[in-house]
Structure 1
Amino acid sequence: MEIARYPLISVCIPTYNRQDLLKRALNSVIIQQYWNMEIIISDNCSPQKIWEEIRQLDTLDSRITVRRNLENLGWTGNLNECLKIAKGEYIIFLCDDDEFLPGLIEKEAEILCKNNNVGLIHTDGYYCDFNGNIIRSQSTSKPILKAGEEAIEKIFFKMDVFFSSAMVRKKCYDELSEFTNTCSADWEMWARIAQYYDVAYIQEPLVKFHQHNISMMPAIKFESDTLFLMEKILSYLPIEKRELMKQTLLKNLGAVFFAFVQKAWQEGKWKHGSSFLLIARKYSGIVLWIKKLLTLIIYSVPRRIKYSRLTKIKRNETFVS
């Protein structure tokens, strides 16, 4: 299919207080070999000085629109504002610290054009450290998962959809409403879409996911949001499958919370990490919990020293959810 015949695609970049990283993300969009795009930069009420710099970015390309929320709406609030103004037949979000790799837009759009029942497509990608070095890639899934149980279970357990690689038909958002105002709202949204639409996957790294400072959301809030979303996703499945899947996921939550402990401690946020440690105890046997705790102590201290030496994260580059 010729490029000129491709439908309009909305690339939405929600941002807050990270103008330098935003420029890198924006450049990765501009260099895509796909012209029929609108690029929406949605600033979540950054400080005035930073906003003055961000608002000038629309001079870089005629396809760019820059807007600003009058108050900070949180991460999901900013996503939903983007959905209100996006005009494209397909919509993709790009976090302001991530990057598209060449070919992402064109390859995803082509699959959506050729497969009318695919509502969501995502790709493999690279995890990068604070210095941009590739840590690992992610490879998973079948090319297309049929709508219903298979697709929902994959999203439910693996949680492996790179947010910045997920292109969605606008009609999916129109039919299924906006993102839920919780952390990990994308996890639930993808499962919501998978009830009714096939999920496609390109096994090629087409996005770079950059590590950023851990969110300072209270651990108890993160736990309650996770459990709330888990119950929502379970409600999309047949009743007879829900309890088994719930118990399986609850067993895995200990590892999820330990991952937060590790990241927080590596950043020197000992108190914040310890709050997740206490919650991890609720989902882990005592022997396993102690074993993981000892491993974290041995592993995180030297990593914290390395982190402090190698990273220079500006105060205005922190993530606000």
Structure 2
Amino acid sequence: MREDCKYHLVSIVTPVYNSEKYLAQNIKSVQLQTHTSLEHILVDDCSTDNSAQIIKHFAEKDNRIRYVKLSENSGAGVARNKAIELAKGDYIAFLDSDDLWYPDKLKKQLAFMQANNYPFTFTAYDKIDIAGKLLGKQVNAKRKVTYKSALYKNPIGCLTVIYSISFFGKQYMPKIRKRQDYALWLKLLKKTDAYGIQQCLSSYRVGNESISSNKFKLLTYEWRIYRDIEGLSRMKSVFYLISAILIKLKSYF
């Protein structure tokens, strides 16, 4: 008989840096989850605004909210890894500090994982503007992602991922400033495929000043992933990088 997933603890990983504009909404979207067995670990990457005070305010009233502060500003990857290190859950989920979940996100995704015995899943998601207004743009989820298909372009939204600790153990992000999530997905995909839910269960905020608007600058990090982390040959790395550029260009037209 399949286990009842409502009893599984989910550890939610949120890196925080100067996110006071969005943090209250972010935390409330976790508190409103219909799957209530969770811990929300927010790791403060030495914010200089009121982020710490906001998190502590919520933590005082809800013991599922955990505040952690890094000793020095180290980037989102290090903050996420600290949260993973401290996680006590059966599953790891990711939610950046300016993004939001819909109330049934965890419940539906965990049921999907349990019903199909999938240890690595993701979902479709909506895009919202800085004010939180829906832009009418959805990012669809592929039904299945393999390691090879993911090399062409990262098809998985960080805010939608859940992976099983019992299957993978605790898996961490590499120490690069950008694209750490993509590198982690590739690492997980070497062990098993990822499966997507076509329903939008979260919203991704675009236009945030903390996120680079020039996505082509991020290609240098993709090159590092291909060459340094994945250990691909120069020829293969060039091939996948050009493919990524062409896919990005196509999305603009």
What's the TM-score once normalised by structure 1's chain length? Answer: 0.68
Q: 1:168-179 counterparts in 2 under 5 A?
A: 168-171=163-166, 174=169, 177-179=171-173
CA contact (8 A) 1:3 1:34 kept: no
Give the letter for the 1:106 counterpart: K
Does 2:114 correspond to 1:113?
A: yes
CA contact (8 A) 1:120 1:190 kept: no
Cα offset, 1:195, TM superposition: 1.0
Cα offset, 1:15, TM superposition: 0.9
Question: Identity over the aligned pairs, expressed in percent?
Answer: 20
Aligned residue for 2:175? 181
Aligned residue for 1:31? 32
CA contact (8 A) 2:223 2:237 kept: no
Aligned residue for 1:66? 67
Cα offset, 1:49, TM superposition: 5.0
CA contact (8 A) 2:120 2:193 kept: yes
Cα offset, 1:123, TM superposition: 0.3
Aligned residue for 2:202? 207
Q: Distance in 2 between matches of 1:218 and 1:141?
A: 25
Size of the alignment, in residue pairs?
249
Gapped regions of structure 2 (runs ≥ 5): none
Mark the CA change 1:173 to 1:48 in structure 2 (over 3 Å): closer, same or farther: farther
Q: Distance in 2 between matches of 1:213 and 1:129?
A: 11
Mark the CA change 1:2 to 1:192 in structure 2 (over 3 Å): closer, same or farther: closer
CA contact (8 A) 2:11 2:41 kept: yes
CA contact (8 A) 1:93 1:167 kept: yes
Q: Distance in 2 between matches of 1:85 and 1:56?
A: 21
Q: Distance in 1 between matches of 2:87 and 2:168?
A: 11
Cα offset, 1:53, TM superposition: 3.5
Mark the CA change 1:53 to 1:232 in structure 2 (over 3 Å): closer, same or farther: same
Q: 1:261-300 counterparts in 2 under 5 A?
A: none
**Which SS does the other structure have where 1:58 is aligned?**
helix
**Which SS does the other structure have where 2:15 is aligned?**
strand
Structure with more of its chain in helix, by fraction: 1
Does 2:232 correspond to 1:198?
A: no
Cα offset, 1:19, TM superposition: 2.1
**Which SS does the other structure have where 1:161 is aligned?**
coil
CA contact (8 A) 1:3 1:35 kept: no
Q: Distance in 2 between matches of 1:190 and 1:48?
A: 31
**Which SS does the other structure have where 1:91 is aligned?**
strand
Q: Distance in 2 between matches of 1:255 and 1:181?
A: 26
Structure with more of its chain in strand, by fraction: 2
Mark the CA change 1:158 to 1:48 in structure 2 (over 3 Å): closer, same or farther: closer
Aligned residue for 2:223? 227
Q: For structure 1, which segment, 225-234 or 66-75, has the greater mean C-alpha deviation from structure 2 after superposition?
A: 225-234
Q: Distance in 2 between matches of 1:216 and 1:42?
A: 21
CA contact (8 A) 1:9 1:91 kept: yes
Across the aligned residues of Structure 1 and Structure 2, the Cα RMSD in angstroms comes to 3.2
Mark the CA change 1:69 to 1:194 in structure 2 (over 3 Å): closer, same or farther: same
Give the letter for the 2:152 counterpart: F
Q: Distance in 2 between matches of 1:185 and 1:173?
A: 17
CA contact (8 A) 1:41 1:66 kept: yes
Aligned residue for 2:142? 141
CA contact (8 A) 2:219 2:241 kept: no
CA contact (8 A) 2:15 2:96 kept: yes
Q: How far does the alpha carbon of each residue in 1:2-26 deviate from its partner, in whole angstroms, 9 at most, with x for none? A: 8675311111221111123011011
**Which SS does the other structure have where 1:124 is aligned?**
strand
Cα offset, 1:131, TM superposition: 2.7
Aligned residue for 1:155? 150
Cα offset, 1:111, TM superposition: 2.3
Q: Distance in 2 between matches of 1:12 and 1:252?
A: 27
Cα offset, 1:83, TM superposition: 0.8
Q: Which has the larger radius of gyration?
A: 1
CA contact (8 A) 1:16 1:45 kept: yes
Give the letter for the 1:250 counterpart: I
Q: For structure 1, which segment, 188-197 or 226-235, has the greater mean C-alpha deviation from structure 2 after superposition?
A: 226-235
Aligned residue for 1:132? 132
Does 2:104 correspond to 1:103?
A: yes
Aligned mate of 1:166, from 161, 180, 190: 161
**Which SS does the other structure have where 1:46 is aligned?**
coil
